[in-house]
Amino acid sequence: MRILKIQTLRGPNYWSIRRHKLIVMRLDLENLAESPSNEIPGFYEGLVEALPSLEGHYCSPGCRGGFLMRVKEGTMMGHIIEHVALELQELVGMPAAFGRTRETGTPGIYQVVFEYENEEAGRYAGRAAVRLCQSIADRGRYPQAELEQDLQDLRDFARDSALGPSTEAIVKEAEKKGIPWMTLDARFLIQLGYGASQKRIQATMTNNTGILGVELACDKEATKRILAAAGVPVPRGSVINFLDDLEEAIEYVGGYPIVIKPVDGNHGRGITIDIRSWSEAESAYDAARQVSRGVIIEKYYTGRDHRVLVVDGKVVAVAERVPAHVVGDGKSTIAELVEDTNSDPNRGEGHESVLTKIELDRTSYQLLERQGLTLSSILPKDKTCYLRATANLSTGGIAVDRTDEIHPENVWMAQRIVKTIGLDIAGIDVVTNDISRPVRETDGVIVEVNAAPGFRMHISPSYGTSRNVAGAVVDMLFKNEQASRVPILSVTGTNGKTTTTRLLAHIFRQTGKVIGYTTTDGTYVGEYLVESGDNTGPQSAQLILQDPTVQVAVLETARGGILRCGLAFESSNVGVVLNVAADHLGLGDIDNIDQLGHLKSVVAEAVYPDGYAVLNADDPRVAAMAEKTKANIAYFTMNSDSQLVRDHIQKGGVAALYENGYISILKGDWTHRIEKVENIPLTMGGRAPFMIANALAASLAAFVQNVTIEQIRAGLNTFRASVSQTPGRMNLFNLGNYHALVDYAHNPHSYEALGSFVKNWNSGQRIGVVGGPGDRRDEDFVTLGKLAAGIFEKIIVKEDDDTRGRARGSAAELISKGIKQVKPDLSYEMILDETQAINKALDSAPDNSLVVILPESITRAIKLIKARGVVKEELQQQ
Ligand code: ATP
Ligand code: ATP
Ligand code: MG
Ligand code: MG
- Per-residue model confidence (pLDDT) at position 845: 92
| 86-104 tens-digit pLDDT | 999 999 999 999 999 999 9
- Is the model's pLDDT at 192 over the cut of 90? yes
Half-sphere exposure of 773 (CA within 13 A, CB side): 13
CA separation for the pair 587, 711 (Å, rounded): 40
682 CB burial (10 A radius; 0-12, 13-18, 19+): buried
What one-character-per-residue DSSP string does 732-743 give? EEE-SSSEEEE-
**Angle CA 278–280–284, to nearest 5:** 115
* Pairing of the two strands 488-492 and 552-556: parallel
Instruction: Provide ipTM, 2 decimals.
Output: 0.92
Q: In this structure, are residues 123 and 23 in contact, taking their beta carbons and an 8 Å threshold?
A: yes
Q: How sure is the predictor about 730, in pLDDT bands with cuts at 50, 70 and 90? A: confident
Please, what's the b/e burial string for 111-132 (b: 16 or more CB within 10 A of its CB; e: otherwise)? bbbbbbbbebbbbbbbebbbbb
* C-alpha–C-alpha distance, residues 674 and 671, integer Å: 9
Find out whether the beta carbon of 785 lies less than 6 Å from any atom of ligand 1: no
Host H or E run for residue 612: strand 607-616
Ligand 2 centroid from CA 763, angstroms: 25
Within 13 Å of residue 729, how many CA atoms lie on the same side as its CB?
Answer: 27
CA 491 to ligand 2 center in whole angstroms: 12
**CA–CA gap between residue 289 and residue 392 (Å, rounded):** 20
Between CA 498 and CA 536 the distance in angstroms is: 9
Q: Is 305 in the pocket of ligand 1 (CB under 6 A)?
A: yes
Contact 23, 9 (CB under 8 A): yes
461 C-alpha to center of ligand 1: Å?
Answer: 19
CB atoms within 10 A of CB 560: 14
User: Looking at ligand 1, which atom is closest to the CA of residue 307?
Assistant: 18
For residue 701, how many C-alpha atoms fall within 13 Å in the half-sphere facing its CB?
A: 39
Residue 771 has pLDDT above 70, yes or no: yes
Nearest CA, atom 20, ligand 2: 745
- Res. 861 pLDDT band, cuts 50 70 90: very high
Whether 386 is in the pocket of ligand 1, judged by its Cβ within 6 Å, is no
For residue 558, the ligand 2 atom closest to its alpha carbon is 2
pLDDT in tens, 829-838: 999 999 999 9
Distance CA 836, CA 798 (A): 9
Instruction: Report the nearest-CA residue for atom 13 of ligand 1.
Output: 268
Q: Are 617 and 623 in contact (CB under 8 A)?
A: yes
Ligand 1 touching residue 784 (CB < 6 A): no
452 lines ligand 1 (CB under 6 A): no
With bands split at pLDDT 50, 70 and 90, how would you rate the model's confidence at 52? very high
Pocket test for ligand 1, best of 271, 299, 320, 386 (most atoms within 8 A of CB): 271
Could you report the per-residue pLDDT of 392-438, keeping only the tens digit for each? 888 899 999 999 999 999 999 999 999 999 999 999 999 999 999 99
pLDDT at 877: 38
pLDDT value, residue 773: 86
Instruction: Give 120-165 pLDDT, tens digit per residue.
Output: 999 999 999 999 999 999 999 999 999 999 999 999 998 888 888 9
What are the Cα distances from residue 839, in Å, to 763, 770, 851, 856? 22, 13, 11, 15
For residues 196 and 573, give the distance between their C-alpha atoms in angstroms, rounded to a whole number.
Answer: 16
What distance in Å separates the CA atoms of residue 96 and residue 84, rounded to the nearest whole number? 11
For residue 745, the CA-to-ligand 2 centroid distance in Å is 6
Residue nearest to atom 15 of ligand 1 (CA): 390
3-state secondary structure (DSSP) of residue 723: coil
The winner for highest mean pLDDT among 202-216, 587-601, 742-756 is 202-216
Name the strand (E) or helix (H) holding 803: none
Q: Which amino acid would we find at residue 784?
A: L
pLDDT mean across residues, the chain: 93
- For the stretch 272-283, pLDDT in tens is 999 999 999 999
Confidence of residue 690 (pLDDT cuts 50, 70, 90): very high
With a CB cutoff of 8 Å and minimum separation 6, the contacts of 339 are none
Q: Which residue has the least CA distance to atom 4 on ligand 2? A: 520
Residue 515, sorted as left (phi over 0), alpha (psi -120 to 50) or beta, turns out to be beta
Report CA(773)–ligand 4 centroid distance (Å): 14
Measured from the CA of 581, which atom of ligand 2 is nearest? 29
Residue 354: closest CA among 167, 165, 117, 157: 165
Give the Cα separation of 496 and 492 in Å (integer): 8
Strand ranges in 501-571 using DSSP code E only, listed in sequence order:
515-518, 522-525, 528-532, 552-556
CA of residue 468 to ligand 3 center, whole Å: 21
User: How far is ligand 3, taken at its centre, from the CA of residue 270, in Å?
Assistant: 12
CA–CA separation, 564 vs 589, rounded Å? 11
* Total H helices, total E strands in the chain: 29, 39
Determine which residue's CA is closest to atom 13 belonging to ligand 2.
Answer: 496
Cβ contact 80:134 at 8 Å: no
Give yes or no for a contact between 489 and 553, defined as CB atoms under 8 angstroms apart. yes
Helix (H) or strand (E) holding 757: helix 748-758
Contact assessment for residue 429 and residue 447, using Cβ atoms and an 8 Å cutoff: yes
The rounded Cα 668 to chain-centroid distance in angstroms is 37
Say if residue 835 is exposed, middle or buried (CB neighbours under 10 Å; 0-12, 13-18, 19+): middle
- pLDDT surpassing 80 at residue 34: yes
- Give DSSP secondary structure letters for 350-361: TTSSSEE-----
Cα–Cα dist 214/94, whole Å: 36
Q: Is the pLDDT of residue 878 over 50?
A: no
Beta partners for residue 665, in sequence order: 656, 672
Q: Which numbered ligand comes closest to the C-alpha of 220?
A: 1
Say what percent of the chain tops pLDDT 90: 80
C-alpha 720 – ligand 2 centre gap (Å): 15
pLDDT of residue 876: 42
**874 strand-pairing partners:** 732
Give the position, in ligand 2's atom list, of the atom nearest the Cα of 534: 4
Phi-psi region of 382 (alpha: psi -120 to 50; beta: other; left: phi over 0): left
Q: Closest-lying ligand to the alpha carbon of 306?
A: 1
In this predicted structure, what is the pLDDT of residue 647? 95
Atom of ligand 2 nearest to the CA of 499: 11
In the reported structure, the alpha carbon of residue 188 is separated from the centroid of ligand 1 by a whole-number distance in angstroms of: 27
Q: Which residues line ligand 2 (CB under 6 A)?
A: 493, 495-499, 520, 558, 578-579, 690, 693-694, 729-730, 743-745, 749-750, 753-754
Report the separation in Å between the CA atom of 268 and the middle of ligand 1, taken as the mean of its atom positions: 7
Of the candidates 197, 199, 196, 195, which has an alpha carbon nearest to the alpha carbon of residue 171? Answer: 199
Dihedral of CA 10/16/19/21: which sign?
A: negative
Q: Which residues surround ligand 3, an ion (CB under 5 A)?
A: 429, 448
Q: Which amino acid is at 597?
A: G
Q: Is the per-residue pLDDT at 734 higher than 50? A: yes
Q: How far does the centroid of ligand 1 lie from the alpha carbon of residue 110, in Å?
A: 60
Nearest residue (CA) to ligand 2, atom 12:
496
